[in-house]
Amino acid sequence: MEIEEKLKLVEAVVEYMDTTSNLERVKLQCIHYNKIEKEMFLYTFKILVNPSDVCEKDASLGNCILSTPAVATSLFQEVVFQVVQLLSLLHEDVTLSQICVILRLTSLPRITQLYEVEHANQLSVFFNKTVFVHLTGIIVGVTATSKYTQGTRYACYDEECEGHSGYHFIRVHMPGASEAQTIRSDFKCTFCWKPLREVKTCRTLADRVIAEVVPDTVFRHGNSNSFKFLEQAIPIYIRGDLTRCVEIGGCYDIIGLIQKTQQDEKVVMAIEVNNMKKVGMMDMSPAVKSAVLPDVIYKLYQDRKHSPWSFVLSLAFFFGGDISPCGTYLKLKLSLLVSLMSLPPTNKSSFRPLHVLAIGQDTFILNQLMTYTQHFSNRACVYSSINNLAGKVSKDKYASSQYFIDGGCLLFGKDGVCYLGDVCRFRKSICEQIRTALSNGKVTIDIASKYTGGLPQKVEQKLECLVWAYTDSITNKKPQHFDDIFTGCEMGNMAKPMLDVFSLLQFVDSGDSSTREEVALRCADQQLTSSLELDTDHGQLESSASPISDHDMAQFLRLAQASQPTTSREADSLIHRYYVASRKVRSSNSDEPSIPVTALQTICSLAIGHTKLSLRSVVTEEDALMAIKLYEESITARFGYSVLSVQPSPHLPVSQTSDFLGYENDRQMKQFYTTLVRFCTAQSYMEE
């Protein structure tokens, strides 16, 4: 590089650092270093760089940063050193080699042919190049945290040589370099040309984690080709402070350099992370082109706006019409839609998941409904016998730490749905993992002592997904006997502790026998008709039983989920009064079952979900009333009686369609409200 060209680049660096407040950060970092009493040999400065902004101000500097990162780093190093010297920010003896500059890129130009990496096989394109690449992916496994050499000092063997003392020879880790390339024994003194030796007491260590990343499209149902091939994971090296934000199942925007590592006779290509930012699946999902409701749903909303409940019930009525006829499995469809609304758009502190368990004899339709509904979530992961539920610990394949953790479905479903399927087929140990994760809200991975070299350890991570499952209601090997006249629905082989951890239980076989027979006939007729149409159309079914298309429903659900309603005092008071009164009544006799402690959180989540689906900004008493009725129907079907005289109605008969979605339903809800208020008031008087 010619001197004139270098001076122009240095001038551009100074101007950029000044206009972007990076110089101010350097000053603050120097103040921090001056407060440290211990003598330091290495001063590290992180410079935030936006290549797009740099290119607009100086194209030569921008091209240097993107094409030759090592040269750009040396330019910024010289500028920082001169600033420190001129402003006397550090002591006078600081040398240029003691200044370590790390350029952190905040973004990268989105040019697919040059910088984007979507699959592991694309890494070979950059085999002989040292350029930054961009990857958006989900972490599926990580190693244990290990150490690497961030920097060390070398000195000359000759005590009389000038290179024996002072900080003339500082070796720092360069992006893309291995440990063997950083720590070497073939360095020569520039003063006497004798060998240099490492001063190991000056070695500075930092944290390092190796993670495996797969493209975010693998768990995104919007991509029709995402499950038609096996996706090879891309290894990434994460160092320093960036290791703190690593979570299995998290989706990240990653910028890094290609790293080539020799393992035996193979060359392993990986990405050394320069910067990474956690992103939500809401940001990664296909964007909604407009904030306007689809025409079909808008017309339905206008037609049903006279009632606070009719619009949401109508959505559930039409939802999944190709799976089961409209009106059948209505409460299960409504529960699944409300459950999708419990996924937080941004604020994770308000995450109140609604885990749904469906119990019924027709497990084929239950499986189809849940499989269909999960396609509307931001991310979905289906558990099977070949997958891990929580995670698996094995020997580190990269030989960099004690062990490697492969994530499980409960972690991969982060910000989405983890669909378990039929829980009756699981072993006792798997059921215990599910129970523990749902009850504690954490996913625990056990690490055996053979990997830790000492006592066994545990790794915990917050459960941030919805868990859906179903079970057959007639799988009991022994008949159940009840001493009470009130008997609930059959619950299969599910134990009470397992049932309690699910937020909402939907017993689809409850209700009168005539309705169940009608539902069975309607479902059988639709399946037969669909099969005949498929044969006639050569496997392509053009017509749909629902007037709302999947695209319109997906757009509506995304708009509804993005809202963040607030709860009114009236709704909050009604929910708390019901919870206290019903828990007191059902717990008054030790022989009678009581509602779970998590019931209050479940009802609040149901109310908020109903508010979002209703496109309201405030949770009203009407939302709370629908949430209470849904929950009361669930525990009534389970325990066999209701303190509010509620009868479970999982399906809607054809003869009652107009009444259920019209004014008759409003009248019944108002009557239920009156009964609820009387019940709560009576219990409060009895307590006094």
Of 270 and 344, more confident: 270
Distance CA 486, CA 500 (A): 19
d(CA 470, CA 505): 9
Question: How far, in Å, CA of 61 to CA of 6, rounded?
Answer: 10
The more confident residue out of 129 and 8 is: 8
CB distance 110 to 116 below 8 Å = yes
Q: With H, G, I as helix, E, B as strand and everything else as coil, classify residue 395.
A: coil
* CA 9-11-17 angle, 5° bins: 100
Q: What would the DSSP string read from start to end of 213-246? A: EEEGGGG-TT-TTTTSS--PPEEEEEEGGGGGG-
- The angle formed by the CA atoms of residues 618, 646 and 435, to the nearest 5 degrees, is 75
Is the alpha carbon torsion for 24, 28, 29, 31 positive or negative? positive
3 state SS of 22: helix
Chain segment 158-217, per-residue pLDDT in tens: 989 998 988 889 999 988 788 888 898 889 999 999 999 999 888 989 999 999 999 887
The helix (H) or strand (E) run that includes residue 444 is strand 442-447
Residue 312 near residue 610, CB atoms below 8 Å = yes
Instruction: Tell me which residue of 11, 649, 3, 51 sits closest to 327, measured CA to CA.
Output: 649
The pLDDT mean for the chain works out to: 85
Q: Tokens at residue 321, please? A: 């019409």
How confident is the model at residue 265, as a pLDDT?
73
Q: How large is the average pLDDT for residues 49-69?
A: 91
Q: What percent of the chain has pLDDT over 70?
A: 88
How much is the average pLDDT of 632-648?
Answer: 87
- The predicted-structure confidence for 648-674, as pLDDT tens digits, reads as follows 889 888 877 776 777 888 999 999 999
Closest C-alpha to 502, from 615, 359, 641: 359
Which tokens belong to 286?
């296909």
Is the model's pLDDT at 121 over the cut of 70?
A: yes
How many CA atoms are closer than 13 Å to the CA of 663, on its beta-carbon side?
Answer: 0
Helix residue spans in 387-536 (DSSP H): 409-412, 428-440, 449-452, 496-501, 513-536
What is the predicted pLDDT for the residue at 479? 46
pLDDT for res 453: 83
From the CA atom positions of the chain, what is the Rg in Å? 31
Show the beta-strand stretches assigned E in 336-491: 356-360, 380-382, 391-394, 404-407, 417-422, 442-447, 457-462, 466-472
Reported as a single tens digit per residue, the pLDDT across 20-46 is: 989 999 999 999 999 987 878 889 999
- Give the confidence band of 288 by pLDDT, cuts at 50, 70, 90: very low
The CA distance from 502 to 504, in Å, is 6
Average pLDDT over residues 410-418: 92
Tabulate helix, strand, coil % of the chain (nearest 5): 45, 20, 35
Q: Would you state the structure tokens that stand for residue 264, as one six-digit string?
A: 């035996």
Q: Are the C-beta atoms of residues 422 and 463 closer than 8 Å to each other?
A: no
Among 474, 447, 475, 471, CA closest to 459: 447
Fill in the amino acid letter for 546: S
Give the C-alpha separation, 340 to 624, whole Å. 18
Residue pLDDT, tens place only, 432-488: 999 999 999 999 999 999 988 888 899 999 999 999 999 987 755 444 443 343 445
Rounded CA separation 433/445 (Å) = 10
User: Count of residues for the chain?
Assistant: 688
d(CA 68, CA 518): 72
Q: Are 154 and 183 in contact (CB under 8 A)?
A: no
pLDDT at 459: 92
More confident residue, 109 or 72: 72
How far apart, in Å, are the Cα atoms of 121 and each of 1, 128, 263, 381? 34, 15, 18, 24
What is the C-alpha to C-alpha distance for residues 504 and 358, in angstroms, rounded to an integer?
A: 9
What's the average model confidence in pLDDT over 310-314? 94
Query: What was the pLDDT predicted at 593?
Result: 54
pLDDT of residue 591: 53
CA distance linking residue 349 with residue 351, whole number of Å: 6
344 or 196, higher pLDDT: 196
Residue 240 gets the label, from left (phi > 0), alpha (psi -120 to 50) or beta, of: left
Residue with tokens 């550090």: 90
For residue 160, give the DSSP letter: T
pLDDT at 153: 92
pLDDT band per the 50, 70, 90 thresholds, residue 515: confident
Task: List the domains of the chain with CATH numbers.
Answer: 1-107 (3.30.1640.10), 108-279 (2.40.50.140), 288-454+462-533+544-684 (3.40.50.300)
Nearest 5°: the CA angle 167, 171, 177 is 170
- Residue 542's Cβ-count burial label (10 Å; 0-12, 13-18, 19+) is exposed
CA atoms 116, 106, 412, 457: torsion sign: positive
The confidence score (pLDDT) of residue 493 equals 64
Under 8 Å between Cβ of 360 and 509: yes
- Which pLDDT tens digit goes with each residue over 373-399? 999 998 889 998 888 999 999 999 888
Say if CB 213 and CB 139 are below 8 A apart: yes
| pLDDT score recorded for residue 435 | 93
Cα separation, 341 vs 627, in Å, equals 13
Task: Identify the residue whose tokens are 């523990």.
Answer: 436
Cα–Cα distance between 79 and 630 in angstroms, integer?
A: 66
* pLDDT mean over 2-23: 90
Q: 513 by DSSP, 3-state: which? A: helix
Q: Distance of alpha carbon 450 from its chain centroid, rounded?
A: 31
Q: Give the model's confidence band at 89: pLDDT under 50 very low, under 70 low, under 90 confident, else very high.
A: very high
pLDDT tens for each residue of 224-233 = 333 444 678 9
CA distance 92 to 86: 10
Count of other CB atoms within 10 angstroms of residue 34: 11
Residue 622 pLDDT exceeds 50: yes
